Structure 1
Amino acid sequence: MNTHIDQAKRILAQNDRGGYTVPTDRLYPFQWNWDSAFVAMGFALYDVDRAYRELERLVEGQWADGMIPHIVFHAPSETYFPGSDVWRTHHTIPTSGITQPPVFAIALRKLHEVAGKEDETRTLPLYEAALKWHRWWYSARDPEGTGLVALLHPWESGSDNSPAWDIALARVPVTTDTPVVRKDIGHVDADMRPRDEDYRRFIHLVDTYAACGWDPAKQWEKASFKVAEIQTTAILLKAGEDLEQLARLFGRTEDAIEIAAFNDRSRKAIMAQWRPELARFVSRDLISGKDVEAATQAGFIPLLSLDLDKQVANALVSEMKAWSKGLKVAFPTTKPGIASWEPKRYWRGPAWAIINWLLIDGLRRNGHADAAEELRKSTIAAIETEGFAEYFNPVTGEGCGGLGFSWTAAAYLWLEGGTVRA
């Protein structure tokens, strides 16, 4: 019997707050968007009802324009900054004013496949919510119809302080209307978190968009940070593929045609961002017009949603192996050895189980089952050795950040086997 499976389930139970899951106690005391999508996939393996509830609670925070915010503040807490008072969104249920990578539809398709036809009545409203959000991405964050969706805040990437943002974020002033109160470093070692300067820039953007009344068009105009981002677009494309399949399953032919057109646009746009000299895909800074060449995990995430030709897939896998050579835990979120590499600072180097999960699915899709299995084993070994940490130092294997982390538990359940268990 695998006791780690039982422990993963206990973590999800401990982090349950009444139909939704917090990432971990105190450090992240609310419901986070893409965290909950991964968590729902974990629950789907042994508690389908609870998996549905996770997604249903998340869409309680969906805005009228379709956006699903990155945080839903179901209940008050004083252990996190910025709280709902800083966001000033005036939503019926307090939420943040920005979004996160759209893993939701990926989770929904997996959940529906596990649940079967008897739960179609629960899938359909969530499908409608996912489609509404999908349309929001292509209207609010790709108004010119390029196929690449833009982020207006680093937090929207989920990779908050990634080196990918260093140049673009440097343009953002450090002045804020809102006093910056770092509560995170009261829970976790400051060496594992973004720096104070990062937070001042993060909050400057929040203040700017709050002053716009969170109107998407005004935010687009005022944004001092605007990046057409490859990881988010690749996840959106995979979500679109899954959403299209659900549309066809439910006989929603017009929806399927609309979604397929979105998918085709993004598929072509992502491929146009392939840089063979770097052996990875790149984002584009929409303010400078330049490629974002920072060496991060984002450049490999298109494996998840593209059927790549052999030459491109092989180049990506070779580069991934080069990055992982000599590390105790793969896959690093920043290329080891470069100036911006910090192996235990949040998104500037550590290995994350959910990123590995996406990469494993992408490697399998593109015919690299051996590389996928190697990465799966590395992830499983890290969790079984260090516990369900938020992320891992790839050099030492040390578990870092928050502990008893929900999406790490969900990732373990899937990567350990991904089959339904009692």
Structure 2
Amino acid sequence: MIRPAAARVLFGNWTGHSTVPSRSLYPHQWSWDSAFIAIGLRHLSPRRAQVELESLLGSQWADGRIPHISFSPSVPRDAYFPGPDFWRAETQAGVETSGIVQPPVHALAAWLTHQADEDESVRRSFLQRVYPRLAAWHTYLRERRDLAGRGLVAIVHPWESGMDNSPAWDEALARVEPAPLDSFVRRDTDHASDDDRPTDLDYGRYVQLAATYRDHGYDDARTPFAFAVEDPCFNALLIASEHALATVAEELALDPAPHLTAAADLTHALGQLFADGNFHARDLRTDADSGVGVGRLISADTVAGLVPLVVPDLPQADELLVTARGPKFRLGEARMVPSYDLTGPEFEPGRYWRGPSWFNTAWLVHRGLVQLGEDELAEAIRAEVLELAATTQFAEYVEPFSGAAHGARDFSWTAALALDLETTG
């Protein structure tokens, strides 16, 4: 059983109100990490899972966005870069945060957390308190981040995808003039191998993009985004969370129709990103323009294109399954789900999001397979997650052929999602 070891990781990384992804590499609260953590934590302590999400929502901005990092005042200010002194962002409640966001899996996590102990959830008015915040979060994304006006949400930094170093971002990033290397000090390579992490050049570009957004007051209408991309994973998770929020609304005797309409509209719009058997990100910038333009699909095949399997009644599901089983991802043969096309020119089996398999995306694909009735393939993914979590000391990610561990160990979402799959079957 994985439960005792997973509990050791999750309780060991608990800070009293939230869970850090990793004590060394990621010592604060991260947005989509906390959502995944709550999904597993609900099997150990439903109340603690509720507090995890409530704590994250306590860092929400007045405009509805949930920032990707909520900084802990108990951690040294220079322990992580970019830290609070770089972002210079603070909520009305005095919480220091970053200024960008991460994929919106939170409403799904909230509903699953409620289901773990409905009596405790009702006693604490959990859904009543988180629902308006989650609705505001979705409204921010749909209204402020539809940069092209075609019904899809855009990300404005690779970190917002959650898949920071994906080959899908290479061409768009190449247009960004990087911040000088002597203008910042990386902290990630203090705790992980250089070979596993993004290059200094790419990191300089990440820093420049964040600084430009910061210097324009994190204003989505005013910032001249050098990077603006419609990501299929981000939009698919918003669809799944709109469906979850509709269920929450029904539970609270509220009207679910606005969420179901939003989910249907997003599902229709998502079809714009489907080509050649997979969903592809769309780059909204070109070398020739100075703002958001018509854009074009990015050719890279990544796991972000498979995540739409979680979307209920996805019209492209059958074609997507063919791609998932094919040579690019070899679902059922490779270890879990590779993050990038195994036959692609930029494939690197051990470098951050450029080929390795991750536990959170495996969990999402597994969920999609279960919805589609693909029980045999779903069980194969589940078995891989449980085996690799146990044998790698809950590694951050693994090589897709050997299963060799990379990144941090005792990684919280690895422990949480393995626990969830062991418990729910």
Asked if these proteins are the same fold (TM beyond 0.5), I'd say: yes
Indicate the residue corresponding to 1:384 in structure 2. 390
Indicate the residue corresponding to 2:290 in structure 1. none
Identity among equivalent positions (%) equals 39
Which residue, 72, 78, 97 being the options, matches 2:99?
97
Instruction: State the one-letter code of the partner of 1:196.
Output: D
Q: Displacement, 1:418?
A: 2.2
CA shift digits 1:298-320 (9 cap, x unpaired): 111111013135xx433322322
Instruction: State the one-letter code of the partner of 2:398.
Output: F
Instruction: State the one-letter code of the partner of 1:46.
Output: L
Which residue, 157, 161, 168 being the options, matches 2:165?
161
Indicate the residue corresponding to 2:145 in structure 1. 141
Distance 1:209 1:272 in 2: 27
Q: Over aligned residues, Cα RMSD in angstroms?
A: 1.7
Residue 342 to residue 327, structure 1, CA distance change in 2 (3 Å): farther
Structure with greater proportional helix content: 1
Indicate the residue corresponding to 1:363 in structure 2. 369
Indicate the residue corresponding to 2:212 in structure 1. 208
Please tell me whether the aligned partners of residues 89 and 214 of structure 1 are also in contact (alpha carbons under 8 angstroms): no
Indicate the residue corresponding to 1:372 in structure 2. 378
Which residue, 244, 248, 265 being the options, matches 1:246?
248
Q: Which deviates further from its counterpart, 139-148 or 340-349?
A: 139-148
Distance 2:209 2:331 in 1: 38
Instruction: State the one-letter code of the partner of 2:232.
Output: I
Distance 1:403 1:177 in 2: 28
Q: Displacement, 1:72?
A: 0.0
Instruction: State the one-letter code of the partner of 1:124.
Output: Q
Q: Displacement, 1:178?
A: 8.4
Distance 2:228 2:347 in 1: 23
Q: Displacement, 1:135?
A: 0.4
How do residues 41-52 of structure 1 correspond to structure 2 at under 5 angstroms? 41-52=39-50
Distance 1:321 1:258 in 2: 35
Please tell me whether the aligned partners of residues 138 and 145 of structure 1 are also in contact (alpha carbons under 8 angstroms): no
Per the alignment, in what secondary structure is the counterpart of residue 100 of structure 2? Answer: coil
Instruction: State the one-letter code of the partner of 1:83.
Output: G
CA shift digits 1:310-332 (9 cap, x unpaired): xx433322322222279651210
Which residue, 294, 297, 316 being the options, matches 1:291?
297
Per the alignment, in what secondary structure is the counterpart of residue 195 of structure 2? Answer: helix
Instruction: State the one-letter code of the partner of 1:412.
Output: A
Indicate the residue corresponding to 1:53 in structure 2. 51
Instruction: State the one-letter code of the partner of 1:89.
Output: A
Please tell me whether the aligned partners of residues 26 and 80 of structure 1 are also in contact (alpha carbons under 8 angstroms): no
Distance 1:325 1:39 in 2: 25
Distance 2:325 2:155 in 1: 29
Which residue, 198, 205, 218 being the options, matches 1:194?
198
How do residues 319-330 of structure 1 correspond to structure 2 at under 5 angstroms? 319-322=323-326, 323-324=329-330, 329-330=335-336
Distance 1:371 1:97 in 2: 39
Residue 178 to residue 238, structure 1, CA distance change in 2 (3 Å): farther
Distance 1:85 1:283 in 2: 32
Residue 235 to residue 141, structure 1, CA distance change in 2 (3 Å): same
Q: Displacement, 1:245?
A: 1.0
- Number of equivalenced pairs: 409
Q: Which deviates further from its counterpart, 285-294 or 200-209?
A: 285-294
CA shift digits 1:104-162 (9 cap, x unpaired): 10100101112215523122111111111010000111155422100000000000000
Distance 1:127 1:167 in 2: 38
Q: Displacement, 1:397?
A: 0.8
Which consecutive residues of structure 2, in runs of 5 or more, have no partner in the other structure? Answer: 287-294
Per the alignment, in what secondary structure is the counterpart of residue 282 of structure 2? Answer: strand
CA shift digits 1:368-403 (9 cap, x unpaired): 121111111122221222220000111221111011
Please tell me whether the aligned partners of residues 30 and 73 of structure 1 are also in contact (alpha carbons under 8 angstroms): yes
Distance 2:241 2:331 in 1: 31
